[in-house]
Structure 1
Amino acid sequence: MWNWFWKQPQPPPPVVLVPPLFDFPPISARTRMLETSYNVLFGKLALKCLFDDYYYQARHFTTRIMLKPIDDPHVDLIATVSGPLDNKTEENITGNALFRWQSDVNDPHTFIDLYVSTIDPILQMRSCAYYPKYGFGAFGVFPMILKKRVGSDESGMMGLRYGSGNLSFGVTLLPFATKDELPKTAWLVSRMGRMTAGVQYEPQQGNAKLSNLMNWSCAMSYGVGSGSPLSPSFNFGLELVKSTQFVASFYQHMVVQRRVKNPLEQNSVVGITNYIDFGFELQTSVDDAIAANNISDSTFQIGASWQANKNFLLKAKVGPSSSSLALAFKSWWKPSFTFSISATRDRADGKVQFGFGIQSESLREASYQRADPNFVMLTPSKEHLAEGIVWETGKRPMLQSDINAGHFDGLPREMRPLDKFL
């Protein structure tokens, strides 16, 4: 009878912790409209982040502050100071700052920024305007102050582009270029299902003929995935660069869930989501002249990263001349704080040297929430229901949600795919 009035409390449902990615979208993606689509597709942007981010030059440091004012989210500032750790070298400590204005908070493709630095260019302006309704855009890079100008390349660059979901083409021009230097680049990229193919024309100085194969590069790739970090993806690409170099690359992003037994967490926490990235890049020369000069005509690098939780990221890469390891710790305060250290071992002398980096950021939001209990969403501290996940010995269930069907409207803007157009 008393059970009618006093119900036994129900145990809390099982939950899975799903941390936010360290850096998504990557900072380099904000300026991809200033690059040709050929230079950022075929997995190139993801591989660049995997092989470069958090790896520092040996015996050097980098300090970066990225701030966005609360009163005006359309503007932000990135300031960087870097240099050697000791005074034994002749290198100087350099500093630069980038002030950016963005017309739409949710659309990074129309903006203007000013870049100031202690080295050339001392002052540079970059601007881009893109109209998604029509698919057309214009962009330009203009060095305002230089210590000295040598050649037409240092007078700036302008470009026009068209982009849709399956096609991208455009051209870049030098304002004061000679007839032989027009255009600076031209590209055409097309996507057909999971296949992406493209060509790019970059005329060589003194021989800008279309029939010269040294002026052309071509690439193709096969990719699976939505482009959102919540969904597993991979990309395999092949590229022939100016008929002299062949590049093969592979990149895979995996989203896995593992058991977790953390005494600091509640008993209802049964697992945590991890992100594992793997990449491979092979470059080899197809020019007989390079081999005749006894110059190393091929190189490769293999890299991997593992984000164990919201605070720790481990990366490693191996190449023929050196191997590197990087560890990053991030606190999700406002602004967030990241400390990272990298170690590089040179195979020639066997020495291990270190580099350090400190970063403070308030550009990207870290608080992601969704009420649907069947959808696992990124969040720094909030726990989400894990109904439907069966933890069996020897099996790791993959992350399943609406994103597999291409439904991105409920996602925060930071987690939506980058490649809505080429």
Structure 2
Amino acid sequence: MGNSLAKKPPPVVLVPPLFDYPPLSARNRMLESSYNMLFGKLALKILFEDYFEVKDADHFSAKFMLKPIDDPHVDLLASVSSAVDGKVEGDASFRWRSDVDDPHTFLDLSVSTTNPVLLVRSSAYYPKYGIGAFVVSPLISKKNDEYGIMGLRYASTNLSLGATVSPFSTKEEWPKNAWLVSKMGRLTVGAQYEPLCEKSKDTEKHRDLRNWSCAASYGLGSRSPLSPSFNVGLELARNSQFSASFYQHLVVQRQVKNPFEEDKVVGITNYIDLGFELQTRVDDSNTSASLPDSSLQMAASWQANKNFLLKGKVGALSSTFTLAFKSWWNPSFTFNITATNNHRTGRTACGFGLRVDNLREASYQRADPNFVMLTPNKEHLAEETVWKMGERPMLQSDLDAGNFSELPKELRPPQQII
């Protein structure tokens, strides 16, 4: 009788980890202007550049992202790239953090085969006051006119402002750049000042529109990869180039027909990213043969499971496709092959990439009973329970309200500052 009354295990959906989360591009966000990171720019940069190894010729690249087992406060990032012509380039950075849970306060030392050869960078951020400061200083440079920069910023959930200066340079203007970004609900607006126009008089550079850029974006969703997001951005840069962009992150489910899975596994979560970017010049006097009047590119990314990622982008000059395979060992290994076709010459080039990573460790891999997603359907009529981790289920209302305390640390969105 007891067996006849036993309930059938509810159907579950596999939730694979993302290939790269948190993204490496966000490691240096405190060294950059917030204007250059918001308005969907960071997400589009990742979509249009990551795993596309081919540039103008057959290309190979390798990246190592490692940290010692006994000291999580330090890590090392090293990369090397080589083309068929034999030219090899590489760089490496050694980073130290006093608090392993604080990605915004660090000190690192970077070496490179390009210029500058040796660079030291430091950043500090105090969440209680919203104040941050950073320094970037070249120690060894191939050029004598390389100078360091210093920056000061204020960052909160709705406002970011700051400026950078080059205190030892006699050529650079003060400030080197300054920005102001404000977020009002789903709308984000901002402006940035960079006095790079040499034709302006020193006393009138702040009045010259060619030294100013402004942008606005409308976005939905949280910054957790487990929640869909949507962003539309518009930018007028230096009164000469207009850009329109669109980015969408989708979290979808599809059926699983895998004989190696348990019967209760009925589906798997997929991550799909779509991006579009249009750039066109609005100042005809600055057009030239070397600068196209307009450019357009579109890209899409599909992570089918925890092991395979397919990406492609199409532009006016070329089209590129890449397939990546990742093994979730410790450290993890990712291998990708890329093919690009030049629309002008008709030539197709191939590239290969290798990544070794133990900086970002996924705490969930397959249908772990402590980390499953329950899918409301005809077989399972649960209305609210979506995420179940251990004893406490995570409800859809928690995700909608931005409460990610029950998620693994790797899946929680970064600190809510802009």
Answer yes or no: same fold by TM over 0.5.
Answer: yes
Which shifted more, 382-391 or 28-37?
A: 382-391
C-alpha deviation, 1:94, in angstroms: 2.0
Q: Work out the CA distance in 1 between the residues paired with 2:253 and 2:400.
A: 16
Contact 2:64–2:77 at 8 Å: present in 1 too?
Answer: yes
**After the TM superposition, which residues 22-421 of structure 1 pair with which residues of structure 2 at under 5 Å, given as runs?**
22-57=19-54, 58-84=57-83, 86=84, 89=85, 91-150=86-145, 154-178=146-170, 181-206=173-198, 207=200, 208=202, 209-291=205-287, 296-368=292-364, 379-380=365-366, 382-383=368-369, 384-390=371-377, 401=396, 402-418=398-414, 420-421=416-417
Q: Work out the CA distance in 2 between the residues paired with 1:118 and 1:169.
A: 34
Contact 2:13–2:374 at 8 Å: present in 1 too?
Answer: no
Q: Work out the CA distance in 1 between the residues paired with 2:374 and 2:102.
A: 34
From the superposition, tell whether residues 381 and 145 of structure 1 become closer, same or farther in structure 2 (CA, over 3 Å): farther
Q: Work out the CA distance in 2 between the residues paired with 1:343 and 1:294.
A: 25
Secondary structure of residue in 1 paired with 2:44:
helix
Q: Work out the CA distance in 1 between the residues paired with 2:46 and 2:162.
A: 25
Q: Work out the CA distance in 2 between the residues paired with 1:23 and 1:158.
A: 30
Contact 1:13–1:385 at 8 Å: present in 2 too?
Answer: no
Q: Work out the CA distance in 2 between the residues paired with 1:75 and 1:295.
A: 42
From the superposition, tell whether residues 293 and 129 of structure 1 become closer, same or farther in structure 2 (CA, over 3 Å): same
Q: Work out the CA distance in 2 between the residues paired with 1:182 and 1:32.
A: 22
From the superposition, tell whether residues 99 and 387 of structure 1 become closer, same or farther in structure 2 (CA, over 3 Å): closer
Secondary structure of residue in 2 paired with 1:108:
coil
Contact 2:233–2:244 at 8 Å: present in 1 too?
Answer: yes
Aligned-residue Cα RMSD (Å) equals: 2.0
Q: Work out the CA distance in 2 between the residues paired with 1:413 and 1:17.
A: 18
C-alpha deviation, 1:144, in angstroms: 0.5
Q: Work out the CA distance in 2 between the residues paired with 1:39 and 1:66.
A: 24
Secondary structure of residue in 1 paired with 2:207:
coil
Q: What amino acid maps onto 2:377 in structure 1?
A: V
CA deviations 1:83-108 (Å, max 9, x no partner) are: 11x3xx2x521222110011221110
Secondary structure of residue in 1 paired with 2:346:
coil
From the superposition, tell whether residues 380 and 266 of structure 1 become closer, same or farther in structure 2 (CA, over 3 Å): closer
Q: Work out the CA distance in 1 between the residues paired with 2:289 and 2:133.
A: 43
C-alpha deviation, 1:288, in angstroms: 1.3
Contact 2:13–2:375 at 8 Å: present in 1 too?
Answer: no
Which shifted more, 174-183 or 156-165?
A: 174-183
C-alpha deviation, 1:45, in angstroms: 0.3
Q: Work out the CA distance in 1 between the residues paired with 2:361 and 2:290.
A: 51
Secondary structure of residue in 2 paired with 1:46:
helix
Normalising by structure 1, what TM-score?
0.90
Q: What amino acid maps onto 1:323 in structure 2?
A: S
Aligned equivalent of 1:373: none
Contact 1:332–1:380 at 8 Å: present in 2 too?
Answer: no
Q: What amino acid maps onto 1:95 in structure 2?
A: G
Contact 1:251–1:280 at 8 Å: present in 2 too?
Answer: yes
C-alpha deviation, 1:274, in angstroms: 0.3
Which of these residues, 6, 9, 14, is aligned with residue 11 of structure 2?
14
From the superposition, tell whether residues 93 and 295 of structure 1 become closer, same or farther in structure 2 (CA, over 3 Å): closer
Contact 1:258–1:271 at 8 Å: present in 2 too?
Answer: yes
Q: What amino acid maps onto 1:357 in structure 2?
A: G
C-alpha deviation, 1:148, in angstroms: 2.6
Q: Work out the CA distance in 2 between the residues paired with 1:292 and 1:82.
A: 32
Contact 1:106–1:413 at 8 Å: present in 2 too?
Answer: no
Q: Work out the CA distance in 2 between the residues paired with 1:308 and 1:315.
A: 11
Q: Work out the CA distance in 2 between the residues paired with 1:47 and 1:17.
A: 27
Secondary structure of residue in 2 paired with 1:148:
coil
From the superposition, tell whether residues 93 and 386 of structure 1 become closer, same or farther in structure 2 (CA, over 3 Å): closer
Aligned equivalent of 1:395: none
From the superposition, tell whether residues 273 and 95 of structure 1 become closer, same or farther in structure 2 (CA, over 3 Å): same
Contact 2:322–2:339 at 8 Å: present in 1 too?
Answer: yes
Contact 2:363–2:408 at 8 Å: present in 1 too?
Answer: no
CA deviations 1:320-344 (Å, max 9, x no partner) are: 0100001100010000000011100
Q: Work out the CA distance in 2 between the residues paired with 1:217 and 1:330.
A: 39
Q: Which runs of 5+ in 1 are unaligned?
A: 369-378, 393-397
Contact 1:190–1:198 at 8 Å: present in 2 too?
Answer: yes
Q: What amino acid maps onto 1:275 in structure 2?
A: Y
Q: How many residues align?
A: 397
